[in-house]
Structure 1
Amino acid sequence: MSNAFNEVLLSLGANCKQKRQRQGLSVARLEHVSGVKAATIWRIEGGSGANPTLRTLCKLADAFDCPLSDLLEP
């Protein structure tokens, strides 16, 4: 994978974790609210080994009540 792609994944993971924690959501609660499996959320937040689909990212953005671009910004 390219370095740029890895940077995007790291930003995505950090942004998701930050939003989840700020909203006081556990991974289990986010799984329930978003419909995204907890294992996928852990992989995304870990920033490695994840390659989420656009559908998954949209589900997370909806659960956080934010635009998708908020999850991807550096």
Structure 2
Amino acid sequence: MATNLIVRNIGPEIAQALKEAAARHGRSAEAEHREILRAALARPARRTFKEVLAAMPDVGTDEDFNFRRA
């Protein structure tokens, strides 16, 4: 279901930047606006705790993390 969105009180420099970005990408200012919103609001896929731990680099030794060193 499509919904309309009206954005008011945009400064002329922002409007011009939007038009320039749209021209660079070969699309309308409206399509550029939709893409900016989609990219800004898209959520990356969630990783499991196990995946986050597996992605941590294996650096240092256990002694490097010992906070009770003499």
- Ranked by relative contact order (alpha carbons within 8 Å, sequence separation 6 or more), the top structure is 1
Greater share of residues in helix: 1
The TM-score with structure 2 as length reference comes to 0.30
The TM-score with structure 1 as length reference comes to 0.29
Which structure has the greater CA radius of gyration? Answer: 2
